[in-house]
Amino acid sequence: MIVVRTIADLRAELRDRRTGRIGFVPTMGALHEGHASLLRAARTDGDTVVMSIFVNPTQFDEQSDLAGYPRTEDADLAVAAAEGVDIVFAPDAAEIYPDGFATTVSVTGRIAETLEGAERGRGHFDGVATVVTKLLLASQPDAAYFGAKDAQQVAVLRRTVADLNLPVQLVVCPTSRDADGLARSSRNTRLSEEERARAVAIPRALQTVADAAASGIRSSDALRGRALDVLAEALIPLEYIAFVDPDTFEPLPLVDRPTLVAIAARVGATRLIDNTVLTPEPFSTTGGS
């Protein structure tokens, strides 16, 4: 495994590998099994696997969150090696944002301005879109791998790739979960034992919604009420629960087509997100126009 720190060195290492398929997994380090599952998917699909480690300062709305984000490069490199990564790109901030840097990739509309965009500030997805565009241009992979847990981020990046005609396939892998159902996240390490026990109410609320929808309930308000009951019992304050179109993020009052159910909540001082997609069977219709 090769570790490079500059875009020039990354491109040099990839120059002779472009006859095969290159897979890219962007990370901010603090790797866990969720990241490892993305690396395995890239390894299965491709000839060369590239992973980045870069804690992107422009996507943090809270400086304390940026300062407290775990930096565990040695452990991350060990995980990367074990999963068969060929090249790790681990630049410093000056390599990505050199003196005079003045360009921002900004996606407009509901997919970037609601939910996480509203809670974390408009600059959050600007930071995500800008850094991922830079990383994709630096590595020029055939495919880039992301987890479904960050559904809104994936939607923003799909829009970015389409609008800028970036020649890359975005591969979205299922949310990686611990045995208790909690979506894996680097933030989970901040949870106390008691908080962790309460946090599992988040995936339980999503499962409650899925079960209710499967039983025939179609009203988003009714389904939202089921989730709120589960979260309230666990004393989890909610930031939002939304029922939206997975591509446009338009709100959906009825679950009569694929519907993304997205939750953000704080357990203690730790902010967690999770989601599921409801895919009801199509209704049969008769009569009418």
Known binding-site positions: 28-35, 59, 147-150, 153, 184-187
Total number of residues shown for the chain: 289
Instruction: Show the CA angle centred on residue 124, arms to residues 123 and 125, nearest 5°.
Output: 95
Rounded to whole angstroms, what are the CA distances from 259 to 36, 43, 174?
28, 31, 16
Q: Using CA atoms in the order 63, 194, 149, 255, what is the torsion angle rounded to 10 degrees?
A: -120
CB 141 within 8 A of CB 2: no
CB 153 within 8 A of CB 262: no
The binding site for beta-alanine consists of 59
- What is the layout of strands, in order, in the sheet containing 143-147? 2-4, 87-89, 48-53, 22-27, 143-147, 169-173
Rounded to whole angstroms, what are the CA distances from 242 to 87, 114, 275?
38, 10, 9
- Whole-angstrom distance, CA of residue 183 vs CA of residue 176: 6
Q: How many CA atoms lie within 13 A of 271 on its CB side?
A: 12
- Whole-angstrom distance, CA of residue 214 vs CA of residue 173: 23
The binding site for ATP consists of 28-35, 147-150, 184-187
- Kindly list the catalytic residues: 35
